Amino acid sequence: MDIKRIILLLLIGSNFCFSQKSNYKLIWEENFNSEKLDETVWNYELGDGCPNICGWGNNERQVYTRNNHFVKDGNLVIQVRNEQNTYTSTRITTKYKKQFQYGRIEARAKLPLGKGLWPAFWMLGSNISEVHWPKCGEIDILEYVGREPNKIFTSLHTQESFGNTINTKITDIKGIEEGFHLYAIDWTKDKIQFFVDNQLLYTFSPEIKNESNWPYNQPFFFIINVAVGGDFGGNEIDNTIFPQEFLIDYIKVYQ
């Protein structure tokens, strides 16, 4: 395929994404323009997950605190540190405060770097307290692990997969660690599509939908965090990298 055809196909795909977005209206945005995190929107999840889900269900090694983040220059900054051989980070959610069903959801973010880090922007079904995970469903809009450079993970977890990551796509994106990038989903009653910088990466749309494979017919809330180590982050942690920062410029929801 010649270079002109490749460029044309890229432009067509990009224009399609923008035309889809143009059908939506912005209904909510978080621009992190205040001096501190807005606690009418965000909750803190603290500690190491114990006693309920020690290691947050993945044998992670970080402890979440209220002191590992700040807002600066219109960005939420989650700073991951190694403090006297204890890894500290931040995990925040919008549970009970902001939840959404369907639409275009996007976040502009800059990744932290280094082996052992696992930043994520993701969503859980708002009924998690009643039906628990994975029956509530999970949408991983952005996952990155430092042991796998140049790769972005976009995934869904359902009861049908018993929580395992079978509905997923791993995409090589050269330069993804450099600067800010746009991570998004387009979520309808029929399908969920995942995008990075307006390029379609993965579509999930089971032909026959039921409560085991399609818990995505209800509101979901946001989670932002950086984990350290664990089953997915990896056992090898480079202690020379700390501190590292995960920057989120904004989150926007269109419907």
Q: What is the pLDDT of residues 130-174, one digit of tens each?
A: 999 999 999 999 999 999 999 999 999 999 987 566 899 999 999
Q: Which of 13-17, 34-38, 136-140, 217-221 has the lowest mean pLDDT?
A: 13-17
Q: What values do phi and psi take at 58, rounded to 5?
A: -130, 15
CA–CA distance, 150 with 15 (Å, rounded to integer) = 25
Active site residue 138: yes
Question: 249 near 255, Cβ under 8 Å?
Answer: no
Annotated catalytic residue: which of 60, 143, 160, 245?
A: 143
**What's the confidence (pLDDT) of residue 207?**
94
Q: Which of 3-7, 191-195, 210-214 has the lowest mean pLDDT?
A: 3-7
Annotated catalytic residue: which of 30, 60, 138, 160?
A: 138
Q: Where is pLDDT greater, at 19 or 220?
A: 220
Pick from 209, 180, 174, 186: which is nearest to 77 by CA?
180
**What's the confidence (pLDDT) of residue 162?**
72
**Mean pLDDT over residues 62-87, rounded?**
97
Average pLDDT, the chain: 92
Q: What is the CA radius of gyration of the chain?
A: 18
Active site residue 143: yes
CA–CA distance, 196 with 31 (Å, rounded to integer) = 19
Question: 30 near 121, Cβ under 8 Å?
Answer: no
**What's the confidence (pLDDT) of residue 20?**
57
**What's the confidence (pLDDT) of residue 161?**
81
Q: Does pLDDT of 98 surpass 60? A: yes
Both structure tokens of 58:
């993945």
Percentage of the residues of the chain whose pLDDT score is greater than 90: 89
Q: Does pLDDT of 17 surpass 70? A: no
In the block, residue with structure tokens 């909510």? 28
**Mean pLDDT over residues 230-239, rounded?**
96
**Mean pLDDT over residues 173-195, rounded?**
98
Q: Does pLDDT of 1 surpass 90? A: no
